[in-house]
Structure 1
Amino acid sequence: MIRKISMLNEKGDLLDFSDREKFILYDVSGLGVEFDNKVDIFNASVLMNSQSLKLGSLKATLLVGQNSSNGYEIFTEIFRFLNSPPYTMLYETDNGMYYRSCVLNKLTKSDMKKGRIFLEDVVFDFLTPFYKEISETYKPNSDAEGDGKIYAGTNKPRNLIANPNFLNNMQDWSNMSDPEGTYQLQAPATDKPTSNILKLTSSNNKLSSFMNAWGLKVRKGERISFRVDIKTENNPDYDRPVIRVVYGTGEKDYKYSDLGITSSSSSFKTAAISFVVPEDGVFSFQLINQNLSTIGTMSTYFREPMLIRGDVSDMPPDFYSGKPSNNYYAYPYIYESDYNGKSGVFQIENNSVYIGSAKGSPVEITVHGPCTNPYWEILDGSKVLQSDGYNIDVPDGYKLVVSSIVQNQRMKLIAPDGTISDVYQQQDLSKSNFVTIPEGHVTLAFHNVGDVSFNYREEYITV
C-alpha cells in the first residue's frame, strides 16, 4: 500500500502528492518492472537471445484543488515546480523510503470540473531504478590518538567466544534468566567428547538465558558469523527467539525457524548465520530459551557456540576453543584495521535487486587533499574485481570527485573557491576505471589517500 509519493526538482523544491489541500495522486501504476525479451524458437524450445529492461513510467490521475477554492493558482504551482527538471521521486512505503530519478512525459490540462477541481493524467518517465543512498567516510587516525591492539591468531579464523564448550562451569557467561528459568550442564555426547551441553528450561512466559559479554568491539560494515549446535525438547512454538546478538545500541534475534529448527529433535542440528554489523559498538551473544506457550516447561540444548570475524565459509570445519578476543598485543599507537596491509578499507554488503538487468551499483567517491596518486579497488577476498585511480596531486583544501552514476558521471578536481577542473587525462589507464559496487559482500579499499567519503546507490528494479 502506498503511504506517500512526492517529488523533488533540481532546485530542491518539494511537491507533496498527498497534500489534500492541493495535490493527490491516485490510480497509480507503473511501479513494477517490464523487460523486452528477444528469443529464438527451435521447434518446441525457446532460446533466450537477449533481454533488456524497458523504460518504466509512473502513470496516475492527478486531483488538484480538492479542498481549495484556488484550483487555478494551485495548478500554477505545479508548472513552476516542473520548470526545473529533472526530478527525483520519493516513494515511501512500509518498507522505507526509496528514490527514483525521472522526467515529465505528460500532464494534461482540462477545464475545471464540478467542485472546482482538476482531474488530469500525469506521466513521469523513470531514468533510474529505485535506490537508497548509503554513505561512508574514512579518516586516518594519528599515532597520538590512543593505544592500538593487534589481535593474536589473525592468520586464521578464531572462535571469539569465551568458554565456548562450558567445561569450566558457566565461567564467562552471565545468567539473564527469570527466577523460574533453570539451566543444567550435561556431560558431552560421544560425537563431541570435549564439549559439555547447556540445557536451558523455562515455564510459561518465562525466559532462561545466558549472555557471553567479553568486550569484543565491532565496527559498522564488519561481517560476523556464528555457529552453534541446537536441540529442542517439548517445543510446539519454533517461531521464537533462540539466539540474540547485541552490538552497541542495537540487537537482533534469530528464531528457531530462521535456523531451520522444528518443534523437537532427537539429535543436535548445527545452525550457522552470517550478518553485517550495522553500527560501531561492543558485541555480546545470548543463548535463549523463552517459553511463549501455555505448556508447563520446554527446553533447548546448546553445544559449542562459535563466533568469528568473516563469512560462514571461513569457519573451520572442526570446532576448537581458541582464545577470547581480548587476547592481543598492545602498542603505543593506533593500529588501524587493514586488508593486506592497506588502510581505508570498507566491508560492503550490497543488497541491490537487479533481476539480471545490471551487475553493480554506481558510486560517487570524494578524496580530500592533500594526497598524491590516489586509487581504490573493489575486491572479492584477495581478488581485485575493479579499480580506478588518478596520477595527480590533490592539494590541501582540494577534493577529487569521481562518480559512476550514469546521469552524473564525472571526474573533477574541485578547488576551495569552487573552481572545477576536468581530470580525465590524469586517469590511470592501468586500472579498469569507473568502479561500481557488485551485489553481495565485497571490500572497497583506498590507497594513497587521506580523508575519503563515498556514497553508493543500493538499487532495486522494483520494490
Structure 2
Amino acid sequence: MIRKISILNEKGDLLDFSDREKFLLYDVSGLGVEFDNKVDIFNASVLMNSQNLKLGQLKAKLLVGQNSVNGYEIFSEMFRFLNSPPYTVIYETDTGVFYRDCVLNKLTKSDMKKGRVFIEDIIFDFLTPFYKEISETYKPNSDTEGDGKIYAGDSKPRNLIANPNFLNNMESWDNTSDPEGTYQLQAPASDKPNSNILKLTSSNNKLSSFINAWGLKVRKGDRLSFRVDIKTDNNPDYDRPVIRVGYGTGEKNYKYSDFGITASSSGFKTATISFVVPEDGVFQLYLINQNWSTLSAMSTYFREPMLTRGDVSDMPSDFYSGKPSNNYYAYPFVYESDYNGKSGVFQIENNSVYIGSAKGSPVEITVHGPCTNPYWEILDGSKVLQSDGYNVDVPDGYKLVVSSIVQNQRMKLIAPDGTISDVYQQQDLSRSNLIAIPEGYVTLAFHNVGDVSFVYREEYITV
C-alpha cells in the first residue's frame, strides 16, 4: 500500500502528490523491476547470455484541482514546477523513505472534466534505482581538546541496555505480548550464573515481545553494535524476526536465520549485529517471539542483551552489567577512539538490493584541506578490493570532491571562493579508480587526510 509519493525539482521545490486540493496520483504502476534477458537455447537447456535492467517508468493517473475552484491555476503551478528538471521521486512506505531520480516522459492536458477537475496521464522515466543516502564523517581530535569521559571503575565499553539481566520484575522492559502470549523468567544456566533467561511464548499466528525504550538518544551516523544470546525449542519459524531495533521513525528486523539459527538449533547462540543509525532519534529495542507456524505454542529464549557504541569488534567478550547512568569521570581530553570512524576507518554495512544488476553503490567523498596526496581503500578484512587517490595538495580552506554517482561523476578541487578545478589528471593511476561500496560488510579506510565526509547510496532495484 502506498503511503505517500512526492517529487522534488532541481530548485528544491516539493510537489506533494497526496494533496487532495491540488494533485493526487492514483492507479500508480512501474515501481517494480523488469529485465531484458538474452538467452541461448541448446536443445532442452537454456544458457543465460546477458541480462540488462530495463528503464523503469512511474505511470499514474493525475487528478488536478479536486476540492478546488482554481483548477487552471493549479495546473499552471504544475508546469512551473516541471520547468526545473531533473526530478527526484520521494516514495514513503511502511518500510521507510526512498528516493529515485527521474525525468518527465509524458503529461497529458485535456479539457476540464465535470467537477472542475483535470484527469491526466503522467509518466516519469527513472534514471536511478531507489536509494537512501547514508552519510559519515571523520574529524581528527588532539588529546588536548574537549571533555572526555572515562566510566568509573572500568575501561571496557558500557552496556547501554537498561536492565540487561532482567532483574526486579523486568524493570525498564515493557511487555507487548498478544492476549494469549506469556513470558517467564528462568533461573540462570551454569555457564552464565548471573544472567536470568527471558522465555517468550506465543500461540499460533500471534506475536509476543518486550520493548526496552529507556530514552537513549542516538545521532545519524552513530555506529551501534548489539549482542544477545538466543535459543529456540526446535522452532520451525527460524526465518521470522526475533530482534527489532528502532531509531527515530525507522526500524529494522533481524531474523533467526540472520544469526545462523535453524529449525534444529536448541542451545544458546550468541547473535551479534552492527549498524549505522540513519537518522537522529530515540533508540528502542524489541525482543520478539512471532509464531507463524501451525504449532499451538512456540517459544524463544533471550539472555544478556548488550548494546555499545562502535563496531562489533569493540564489544567486550565478557559481560559488563549495570544500567545506563551518568556515572563517569570527566577529563580535559578526548580519546579519538570515542568517535565514529576512528582514525578515518569506517565499518560499512551496505544492504543494497541489486538482484544481479550491479555490484556496488556510488559514493561521494569530500576531503577537507590541509592535506597532501589523499587516498582511500575499500577492504574485505586485509584484502584491498578497490582504491582511489590523487597526487594533489589540498590547501587549508579547500576541499577535494570525488563522486562516482553516474549522474554527477566528478573529481574537483574547490577553493574557498568557489572556484573549481578539475583534478582527474592528478588521479593516482596505480589505484583502481572511482570506488563503489560493495554489498554486505566492508571497511572504508582513508589515508593522508584531515577532515573527511562521505555520502553513499544504499540502492534498491525495487522496494
Instruction: Assess same fold via TM > 0.5.
Output: yes
Give the C-alpha shift of residue 60 in structure 1. Answer: 1.1
Q: In structure 1, what is the equivalent of residue 60 of structure 2?
A: 60
Percent identity between matched residues is 73
Amino acid at match of 1:268: G
Residue-pair matches, total: 422
2: CA distance between counterparts of 1:159 and 1:143?
20
Give the C-alpha shift of residue 439 in structure 1. Answer: 0.8
1: CA distance between counterparts of 2:287 and 2:79?
60
Sort the Cα spacing of 1:21 and 1:196 in 2 relative to 1 into closer, same or farther, 3 A. Answer: closer
Sort the Cα spacing of 1:147 and 1:269 in 2 relative to 1 into closer, same or farther, 3 A. Answer: closer
Q: In structure 2, what is the equivalent of residue 86 of structure 1?
A: 86
2: CA distance between counterparts of 1:83 and 1:251?
37
Q: In structure 1, what is the equivalent of residue 180 of structure 2?
A: none
Sort the Cα spacing of 1:199 and 1:396 in 2 relative to 1 into closer, same or farther, 3 A. Answer: closer
Give the C-alpha shift of residue 198 in structure 1. Answer: 4.9
1:176 to 165, 168, 172: 168
Amino acid at match of 2:450: G
Amino acid at match of 2:271: A
Any residues of structure 2 matched to 1:334-373 within 5 Å, and which?
A: 334-337=334-337, 343-373=343-373
Normalising to structure 1: TM-score of the pair? Answer: 0.73
Q: Is the 8 A contact 1:198 1:301 kept in 2?
A: no
Give the C-alpha shift of residue 115 in structure 1. Answer: 2.2
Q: Is the 8 A contact 1:342 1:445 kept in 2?
A: no
Sort the Cα spacing of 1:186 and 1:17 in 2 relative to 1 into closer, same or farther, 3 A. Answer: closer
1: CA distance between counterparts of 2:347 and 2:243?
24
Q: Is the 8 A contact 2:336 2:342 kept in 1?
A: no
Q: Secondary structure at the match of 1:39?
A: strand
- Is residue 2:278 matched to residue 1:276? no
Give the C-alpha shift of residue 67 in structure 1. Answer: 2.0
1: CA distance between counterparts of 2:80 and 2:43?
57
Q: What are the ranges of 5 or more consecutive residues in structure 1 without an aligned counterpart?
A: 150-157, 162-171, 212-216, 290-297
Amino acid at match of 2:398: Y
Q: Secondary structure at the match of 2:81?
A: helix
Q: In structure 2, what is the equivalent of residue 228 of structure 1?
A: 229
2: CA distance between counterparts of 1:284 and 1:22?
38
2: CA distance between counterparts of 1:321 and 1:401?
40
Q: Secondary structure at the match of 2:431?
A: coil
Q: Secondary structure at the match of 1:33?
A: coil
Q: Secondary structure at the match of 2:32?
A: coil
Q: Which has the larger radius of gyration?
A: 1
Q: In structure 2, what is the equivalent of residue 139 of structure 1?
A: 139
Give the C-alpha shift of residue 69 in structure 1. Answer: 2.3
- Is residue 2:457 matched to residue 1:461? no
Normalising to structure 2: TM-score of the pair? Answer: 0.73
Q: In structure 2, what is the equivalent of residue 419 of structure 1?
A: 419
Give the C-alpha shift of residue 176 in structure 1. Answer: 3.4
Q: Secondary structure at the match of 2:336?
A: coil
- Is residue 2:432 matched to residue 1:432? yes
Q: Is the 8 A contact 2:200 2:301 kept in 1?
A: no
Q: Is the 8 A contact 2:404 2:436 kept in 1?
A: yes
CA RMSD of aligned residues (A): 5.2
Any residues of structure 2 matched to 1:33-72 within 5 Å, and which?
A: 33-72=33-72
Sort the Cα spacing of 1:455 and 1:245 in 2 relative to 1 into closer, same or farther, 3 A. Answer: closer
Give the C-alpha shift of residue 443 in structure 1. Answer: 1.1
Give the C-alpha shift of residue 229 in structure 1. Answer: 6.4
Sort the Cα spacing of 1:196 and 1:33 in 2 relative to 1 into closer, same or farther, 3 A. Answer: same
Amino acid at match of 1:113: K
Q: Secondary structure at the match of 2:80?
A: helix
Any residues of structure 2 matched to 1:293-312 within 5 Å, and which?
A: none
Q: Is the 8 A contact 1:129 1:461 kept in 2?
A: yes
2: CA distance between counterparts of 1:302 and 1:12?
47
Give the C-alpha shift of residue 187 in structure 1. Answer: 7.4
2: CA distance between counterparts of 1:9 and 1:247?
29
Give the C-alpha shift of residue 114 in structure 1. Answer: 2.2
1: CA distance between counterparts of 2:122 and 2:400?
40
Q: Secondary structure at the match of 1:76?
A: helix
